[in-house]
Chains A and B, each alone.
Chain A
Amino acid sequence: AAGVIQSPRHLIKEKRETATLKCYPIPRHDTVYWYQQGPGQDPQFLISFYEKMQSDKGSIPDRFSAQQFSDYHSELNMSSLELGDSALYFCASSLGVSFGNTIYFGEGSWLTVV
C-alpha cells in the first residue's frame, strides 16, 4: 500500500540558509501534519492542514511556514536556519481531522544544520 512520501530524506544546510521539505500524503488523505523530532526526543507537533487550510498550529517557529497545495501535498519552508533546527522532520497524513483517526507517518526528512 502507498505510504506517506517525504523528500528529501537527508538535507544538510548552513546556518541562516533556507530549506524546503516536501510531503506527499497517502492517496485520498486530505489532512497533513508536520512533526519535529530532535535528537533523543519525542516528536513535537508543528502544524497541520485540512483541505488546504491550516487546521491547527503547534510549536512552529515564526521562521517556518507551510502550506498544502491543491493536490494535497505539503511543503515546510524553513528560513534563517539555526543549529537547533537540526532534527528529523516527519510528515503524516490522515483521512479527515476527526479525533481518533489514525495518523500515518512518513519515514522523515533528516535536516542537519552546520
Chain B
Amino acid sequence: AQSVTQLDSQVPVFEEAPVELRCNYSSSVSVYLFWYVQYPNQGLQLLLKYLSGSTLVKGINGFEAEFNKSQTSFHLMKPSVHISDTAEYFCAVSGDSIKDACNKLTFGGGTRVLVKP
C-alpha cells in the first residue's frame, strides 16, 4: 500500500520569502507524484506532477518540486511567496500496482501555508 506523509501541518511564512513544503511517500512500486493546492472554500487545483524524466518539475504560479527517489521525497518549493499563496497544499501519489485497479490518488494530510505581510 502507498502512503504519503507531509511533515508540516502548518507553515507560516512572510511575503516574498521562500517556502518549502516537505512530502515523503512510501510505496513498493513505481509512483507518480502530484501537488495540489486548495484555496479557501475551493476545490483542488493541480500545481505540478512528476511522472518520469527530469527530477525537477516546474508547475504553475512559480512553484517547483524535486523528486528524490533515494529519499522517497517530493518537496515543493517557491522562491518568493505572495499573499495569494495562502492555501492548503496536498501532496498525492498514484502508483502502478496490480493491487490498484486503476489510477487513483492517495493524499497526504496537507500543509496549510499562511503568508504574512
Contacts and interface: CB of A to CB of B under 8 A. Distances in A.
Interface of A: 4, 31, 33, 35, 41-45, 48, 50, 55-56, 58, 90, 92, 94, 97-108
A97 B102 contact: yes
A100 B102 contact: no
Given A55-B102, A97-B102, A100-B94, A43 B44 contact: yes
Interface in B67-117: 90, 94-96, 100-110
Contacts, number: 67
Chain B interface size, under 10 / 10 to 19 / 20 to 34 / 35 or more: 20 to 34
Contacts of B36: 105
B33 to A, nearest CB: 9
A42 B103 contact: no
Nearest to B104: A45
Contacts of A107: 42-43
Contacts of B45: 105
Given A56-B100, A99-B32, A99-B96, 10 more contacts: A33-B104, A35-B105, A42-B110, A43-B90, A56-B101, A56-B102, A99-B94, A104-B46, A105-B43, A107-B43
